[in-house]
Amino acid sequence: MTATLETPAAVSDVDAAVTLSGVRKVFGHGPNGVVALDGVDLSVAPGEFVCLLGASGCGKSTLLNLVAGLDAPTSGSIEVTTSRPAVMFQEAALMPWLTAARNVELPLRLAGLKRGPRREKASELLSLVRLVGAGHKRPHELSGGMRQRVALARALASTLGSAEEGTPGLLLMDEPFAALDAITRDVLQAELVRVWRETSTAILFVTHDVREAVRLGQRVVLLSSRPGRVVREWSTVDCDEPAVIEDITTHLREVISGHAAA
């Protein structure tokens, strides 16, 4: 994937959408405390697509929760310069009592937008994820892939819709395609790249799939497990894809086998 990004002019004065410096997160207290993240330094440029890669227990989801503001770091700082970050989970987690369009409207409603602009923005986002005719449907009437696209539209509404026009967005994705079948996942990955290009939203994408990370991201960041630390990062812009995949896989295996002795 040779994803070259046209940097949007509006955001050129900000050098990072999100900056993490020395982030440490401990769950529990004293000797029983579990260190989930330790000394994580990471920054995502506005409009950049970064994939966080790691095995189980590397604190990927913890990291996203911290950036989303759902949890606070034990020490270190997290600086977000975009509008409110939006989170997408492995499950679509749509509100089952709302239609697809109303689900997309929900964050706009919470932000206090009037009905007219709310409707307009929601239908705009639904057409962005190619769900023009499905706005009136309830989640149980949609397929898994369609639900995840509604969730994407809702996340975009959350980060873009409530902010001032032109404020860059930030999308945090926690293995959003892991529960989908291979064909649907393949299509949705391509759709995500298309949507990302059209909206120039920065994306922090967590996955344990090396191929997915290399295919989607401009940059792949490998995290170690227990505690999570940044091991290495790779730029995947204009790279030799199979070689990078192989290199990352080797490193990932090294990180995992390091735990065998313990």
Partner 1 sequence: MPQLDTDLAAVGAGLDALDAPSQERRPSIGKRFVRTAVPPLIAFALLLGVWQALWAMALWPEYQLPSPASVWAAVAEAIQTGRAFEVLWTSVSRAVLGFLTAVVIATPLGLLIAKVRVVRAAIGSLLTGLQSLPSVAWVPAGILWFGATPATIYFVVLMGSVPSIANGLVSGVDQIPPLLPRVGQALGASRLAAARHILLPAALPGYLAGLKQGWAFSWRSLMAAEIIATSPQLGEGLGQYLHNGSALNDISMVIAAIFLILLVGVGIELLVFRPLERAVLRARGLTGAL
Say whether residue 197 binds partner 1 (CB under 8 A).
Answer: no
Q: Which residues contact 139 (CB under 8 A, 6 or more apart)?
A: 92, 94, 95, 96, 98, 100, 103, 147, 150
Tell me the β-bridge partners of 37.
25, 228
Work out how close the CB of 131 gets to partner 1 at its nearest, in angstroms, rounded to a whole number: 8
Please give the structure tokens belonging to residue 17: 């959408």
Write the interaction track for partner 1 spanning residues 126-165; mark x where CB under 8 A is met and - where it is not.
----x---x---xxxxxxxxx-------x---x---x---
Burial of 74 (0-12, 13-18, 19+ CB in 10 A): middle
**Dist CA 203 CA 50 (whole Å):** 6
Closer of 7 and 143 to partner 1 (Cβ): 143
Write the interaction track for partner 1 spanning residues 78-117; mark x where CB under 8 A is met and - where it is not.
------x-xx-x-x-x-xxxx-------xx-xxx------
Closer of 70 and 237 to partner 1 (Cβ): 70
**Dist CA 60 CA 175 (whole Å):** 10
Amino acid at position 230, single letter: V
Three-state secondary-structure class, residue 224? coil
Residue span binding partner 1 (CB under 8 A) among the ranges 46-54, 183-191, 208-216, 244-252: 183-191
Taking CB under 8 A as the criterion, the residue among 68, 78, 125, 128 binding partner 1 is 68
Site residues (CB under 8 A) for partner 1?
Answer: 68, 70, 84, 86-87, 89, 91, 93, 95-98, 106-107, 109-111, 130, 134, 138-146, 154, 158, 162, 183-184, 187, 190-191, 194
